[in-house]
Amino acid sequence: MSLTQEACERLRGAIVSGKLEFGERLSEEQIARALGMSKAPVRAAFTDLRDMGLVSIVPQAGTYVFTPTPQDVKEMSHFRAMLEREALGSALVRDPDGLVQGLSAAIVQMQHAIDVQEFTLYSRADSAYHRVILRHAGNRYLEKAYDLTATALEALRAHLQSGAGDFWQRSFAEHTQMRDLMAKRQFDDAQALLEEHILVINRSISLPSANINQRTKSRRRSDEEYAMLLS
């Protein structure tokens, strides 16, 4: 793994997990010190993160963690719902039994994450569940399109989880119910539940207000904080 890849993965993890806040200004110099590398790979990592939709690079002002608006969330979630509904339809035609097996394996991972109360593991298992649907659709372009918003939506889920005490239970129940509907060949119901499962984020997530966001932008973390966040 190159230094740029390492910096990108560390920062991506901190953003997706919610450790770095929406709208927060990122210090290239401090991050480089925390990671024990020069500023060049960190600067390159910022560009990669921008392409993922996770940061905004403002000339002469700095780099900031993305700040989604309600419209951003609506557009991303509807885009994802359209893609996954199409992918699920194709997957159910191609290999419904293999699809159910793959989803069941992801559900086992999700249950383990709940048992050990580890959100990072749950988020990975959640993503793995939806990737199973995309893989079984047999269209690599659907997966590439999905990647346009997948990481930003992971970060949104982290903020949703932190503000809703029943998030894990509700999410796990819906994933299990979708798998069961597919196993029973109730495909229309499974597709409808998938769409509702994705779009619920529009009603559930609480985005930062303008005043809070301004305070976040002016915040300055210490070197020790960066070292802890990126460890």
pLDDT of residue 222: 86
Q: Do both 47 and 97 map to the same domain?
A: no
47 and 104 within one domain: no
pLDDT tens across 207-218, in order?
A: 655 554 555 556
pLDDT at 139: 93
The count of domains in the chain is 2
Q: What is the CATH number of the domain that holds 133?
A: 1.20.120.530
Tokens representing 100 are 């159910």
Look at residues 4, 1, 5, 26 and name the one whose alpha carbon lies nearest to residue 15.
26
CA gap 126, 170 in Å, rounded? 12
Both 86 and 62 in one domain: the answer is no
Contacts of 118 (CB under 8 A, 6+ apart): none
170: nearest Cα among 218, 114, 210, 213: 114
Comparing C-alpha atoms, which of 12, 2, 71, 80 is closest to residue 41?
Answer: 2
pLDDT band for position 9 (cuts 50, 70, 90): very high
Contact call for residues 58 and 102 (beta carbons, < 8 A): no
How many other CB atoms are found less than 10 A from the CB of residue 89?
Answer: 16
Res 209: pLDDT: 54
Together in a domain, 60 and 74: no
Please list, in sequence order, all residues whose beta carbon lies within 8 angstroms of the beta carbon of residue 4, skipping any fewer than 6 positions away: 41, 44, 45, 48
pLDDT value at residue 208: 58
Q: What are phi and psi of 18, to 5 degrees?
A: 90, 5
- The residues, any chain, with a CB within 8 Å of residue 130's CB and separated by 6 or more, are 84
Q: In terms of domains, do 148 and 184 share one?
A: yes
Whether 50 and 126 map to the same domain: the answer is: no
**Same-domain status, 213 and 199:** no
Average pLDDT of the residues in 166-170: 80
Q: Is residue 94 located within the same domain as residue 38? A: no
C-beta neighbour count of 108 within 10 angstroms: 10
- Residue 57 neighbours by CB distance under 10 Å: 14
User: CATH no. for residue 219?
Assistant: 1.10.10.10
The tens digit of pLDDT for each residue in 123-164 reads 889 999 999 999 999 999 998 999 888 888 888 877 666 555
Across 57-80, average pLDDT: 90
Q: Cα separation of 217 and 13, whole Å?
A: 20
> Does residue 191 share a domain with residue 85?
yes
Tracing tokens 């230094």 back to the chain, one arrives at 3
How sure is the predictor about 58, in pLDDT bands with cuts at 50, 70 and 90?
Answer: very high
CA 181 to chain centre: 25
How many whole angstroms separate alpha carbon 165 and alpha carbon 59? 39
Same domain, 170 and 78: yes
The predicted structure's pLDDT at residue 161: 63
Section 193-207 average pLDDT = 81
**What integer best gives the mean pLDDT of the chain?**
88
Give me the pLDDT at residue 215, please. Answer: 56
Give 183's contacts (C-beta < 8 A, 6+ positions apart): 100
Statement: residue 29 has pLDDT above 60: yes
Domain co-membership, 112 together with 185: yes
* Domain extent at residue 40: 3-67+208-229
- The predicted pLDDT at position 99 comes to 97
Does 163 lie in the same domain as 80? yes
Using the predicted structure, report yes or no on whether residue 44 has a pLDDT greater than 90: yes
